[in-house]
Every structure is written in structure tokens, then in C-alpha cells.
């Protein structure tokens, strides 16, 4: 009886230690899964914003309609910048894995510049819409539009700050395991924002124009 | 017991998988570019006269592109993180579909049922508020 108890007591820590060791060895431990769960919860925020936009997307209140205010060539340019930034981040991944600091920082900087161009064009678009009187107060459609697209834009801006921080950290400390882990999370975050943008350009801009 | 041997087996696979990963990534990039360009081309040129066909097509292309990005850029598969990322993703996908689909479905019918307010009904309401 007492033998069995000591055996389980002794067996449990051994199993636990091995498991923990395996995680350490595997790379970033639970961080990647945890960050994935965060991205999924962020996806739910965007789902509710898309749902709201879907419900009021034809509530124009006599105000401007998507066909009148959306400039598709500009949106196409914006989409190209964001997609290109996703690809340039992907191009940095092999350099991160093989510990090459120079090319990592170069690709990261290019990604940041493309992301900044995206945010710049979006702000230009918003300023243009405001000048035409298409403000969030004008109709439910415009309120939902600014909330959805603005939330995405705010995420991209946070991503840009994160890229800047990583450029400095990689410059100071090199590609230490902590920085690699952070860059992997940033990579997931950046690709995730591009996925949300697929929904935005399809359901907000393209659907709006053909309606 | 099986963990350490699994790891030593996994390591060489990981290092030699680098070239494979890079090819995987470029295939994903090309697919993403095509899947972005086609819907814009369809809408901006209006090649398909029928707007409903265009709408269905760009909807399908968006869904395909989301899957392409998740598989090729976020590297979601059945094995990563012991399958937990896939499980979390599928759970999220169900909630997203329920939230968006359910909201639009319910609110559309609510709207449709509220819309036809007969003209005398409106007049009656005005009378009632006037008499008060």
C-alpha cells in the first residue's frame, strides 16, 4: 500500500520534468499556442464587427453609398501593399531561423515600410471621405465602415510599433531565443492582419461596389 | 520515454525541411497574389455582366484565400502544437460563422417584417400622438 503511494509520488515528478524539458527543447514552449489563442479571440472581435457591418451595410440614411465613395484603384493599391508586406515578412523567416541578423533586419524594415504605406493610404482615404462629408455620423453604414476598417488599421499601427521595437531589439541583442520567439509571434500577428484584410476588401469594398 | 527519441528524430527533419518550407511559402505567395488580383479584376472590369455571379465568385475566392493564408503563411496543420491550434481554429471558425451568419440572417428577417408599415397605420400613430 505505502509502496504504491511512494511509487506514484516518485513517478509523477519524473514524468512532469521530462515533459517540461521536452517543451524547452521544442522551442518557444506554450507561447506559440497562447499567442494563437489570442489571435483567435481577436478574430472574434473582428467577427462581431463584420456582423455589425453586414447588418447595417445598406442603411445609408439617404447619405453616400459605397459606389459613390469607394475608390477601388486606391483599395487595390492598399491591398497590394499589405499582401506584399506579408510576403516580405515570410522572406525574413529563413534568415531568422538561421540567425542572420542583417537580412532579418532588412526584410523587417521593408515589411515595416510597406505597412506604413498601407496605414498612410488608409488615412488619406479617410481624410478624402471626410472632405466629401462621408463622416461616421452620417449613416449607420458609415459608422460600421469606420469602426471595422479603423479597428483593422489600429491593429496594423500596433504591428508597426512592434516591428520598430523588434528592429531595435534585434539590433541590440541579435537573434537570441527570446527575440526569435517574439519575431515568430509578430509574424503570426502580421499574417493574421492580412487575413482580416481579405474579409475587408471582399465584403466591404468589392461587395459594396457591385451591390 | 518516447519523447526524447521523437525529438532526435524530428530534428534532422526540421533542418532539411528548410528548403521545403521555402518552396511551400512561395507557392502560398503566388496563390495569394492570384486570389487577390482575380476578384479585383472581376469587379473593376465587370467582365461578368451578372453581378450575382460576380458576388458568389468573389465570396468563394475570399474563402479560398483565407484557407491559403492560414495553411501556407500561418502553417496550420494537424500536427502543429499537438493539434491544439487546429482545434482552436475550427472552434473559432464555427463561432465566426454563427456570429456573422446568424446576425445577418436574424436582422434581415427582423428588418423585412418591420418594413411594410401601412400608410393608414402611420396616420393612426400620428393621430394617437396628436390626441394625446
**What pLDDT digit, counting tens, does each position of A70-103 carry?**
999 999 999 999 999 999 999 999 999 999 999 9
ipTM: 0.83
In a domain, A83, yes or no: yes
Instruction: Return all residues near A209 (Cβ < 8 A) that are at least 6 apart.
Output: A66, A67, A70, A72, B43
Report the alpha-carbon distance of residue A80 to residue A78 in Å, rounded.
5
> CB-based burial of residue B39 (10 Å sphere; 0-12 exposed, 13-18 middle, 19+ buried)?
buried
Q: Are B32 and B61 in contact (CB under 8 A)?
A: no
> CB-based burial of residue B115 (10 Å sphere; 0-12 exposed, 13-18 middle, 19+ buried)?
exposed
Is B88 found in the same domain as B43? no
CB contact under 8 A, B22 and A50: no
CB contact under 8 A, B70 and A194: no
Is B88 found in the same domain as B69? no
Which chain A residues touch B89 with a CB distance below 8 Å? Answer: 36, 40
Q: How many domains does chain A have?
A: 1
Owning domain of residue A204:
30-210
Q: How many domains does chain B have?
A: 2
What CATH number is given to the structural domain containing A111? 1.20.120.80
pLDDT tens-digit series, residues B17-65? 566 778 889 999 999 999 999 999 999 998 888 889 999 999 999 999 9
Is B1 found in the same domain as B65? yes
Closest residue of chain A to B54, computed from CA coordinates: A210
pLDDT tens-digit series, residues B80-126? 888 899 999 999 999 999 999 999 999 988 888 876 655 555 555 55
Owning domain of residue B38:
1-75
Is B125 found in the same domain as B88? yes
> Of B75, B97, B116, which residue constitutes the final position of a domain?
B75
Is B71 found in the same domain as B14? yes
List, in sequence order, the alpha helices (H) in chain A: 2-26, 31-56, 66-69, 72-97, 101-131, 140-173, 177-199, 207-210
Is B7 found in the same domain as B60? yes
Amino acid at each position: 500500500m505505502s509502496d504504491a503511494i511512494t511509487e506514484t509520488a516518485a513517478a509523477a515528478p519524473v514524468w512532469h520534468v521530462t515533459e517540461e524539458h521536452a517543451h524547452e527543447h521544442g522551442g518557444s514552449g506554450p507561447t506559440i499556442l497562447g499567442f494563437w489563442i489570442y489571435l483567435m479571440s481577436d478574430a472574434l472581435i473582428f467577427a462581431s464587427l463584420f456582423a455589425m457591418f453586414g447588418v447595417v451595410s445598406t442603411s445609408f440614411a439617404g447619405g453616400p453609398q459605397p459606389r459613390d465613395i469607394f475608390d477601388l484603384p486606391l483599395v487595390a493599391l492598399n491591398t497590394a501593399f499589405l499582401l506584399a508586406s506579408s510576403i516580405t515578412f515570410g522572406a525574413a523567416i529563413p534568415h531568422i531561423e538561421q540567425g542572420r541578423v542583417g537580412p532579418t533586419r532588412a526584410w523587417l524594415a521593408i515589411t515595416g515600410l510597406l505597412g506604413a504605406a498601407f496605414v498612410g493610404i488608409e488615412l488619406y482615404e479617410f481624410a478624402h471621405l471626410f472632405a466629401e462629408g462621408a463622416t461616421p455620423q452620417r449613416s449607420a453604414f458609415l459608422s460600421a465602415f469606420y469602426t471595422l476598417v479603423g479597428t483593422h488599421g489600429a491593429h496594423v499601427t500596433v504591428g508597426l510599433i512592434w516591428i520598430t521595437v523588434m528592429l531595435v531589439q534585434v539590433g541590440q541583442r541579435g537573434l537570441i531565443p527570446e527575440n526569435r520567439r517574439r519575431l515568430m509571434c509578430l509574424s503570426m500577428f502580421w499574417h493574421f492582419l492580412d487575413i482580416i484584410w481579405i474579409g475587408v476588401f471582399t465584403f466591404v469594398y468589392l461587395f459594396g461596389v457591385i451591390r | 520515454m518516447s519523447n526524447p527519441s521523437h525529438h532526435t528524430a524530428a530534428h534532422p527533419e526540421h533542418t532539411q525541411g528548410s528548403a521545403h518550407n521555402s518552396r511551400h511559402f512561395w507557392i502560398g505567395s503566388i496563390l495569394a497574389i492570384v486570389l487577390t488580383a482575380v476578384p479585383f479584376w472581376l469587379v473593376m472590369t465587370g467582365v461578368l455582366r451578372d453581378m450575382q455571379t460576380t458576388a458568389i465568385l468573389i465570396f468563394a475566392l475570399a474563402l479560398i484565400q483565407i484557407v491559403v493564408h492560414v495553411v501556407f503563411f500561418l502553417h496550420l496543420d494537424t500536427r502543429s502544437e499537438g493539434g491544439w491550434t487546429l482545434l482552436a481554429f475550427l472552434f473559432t471558425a464555427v463561432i465566426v460563422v454563427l456570429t456573422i451568419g446568424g446576425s445577418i440572417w436574424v436582422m434581415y428577417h427582423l428588418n423585412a417584417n418591420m418594413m411594410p408599415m401601412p400608410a393608414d397605420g402611420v396616420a393612426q400613430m400620428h393621430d394617437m400622438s396628436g390626441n394625446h
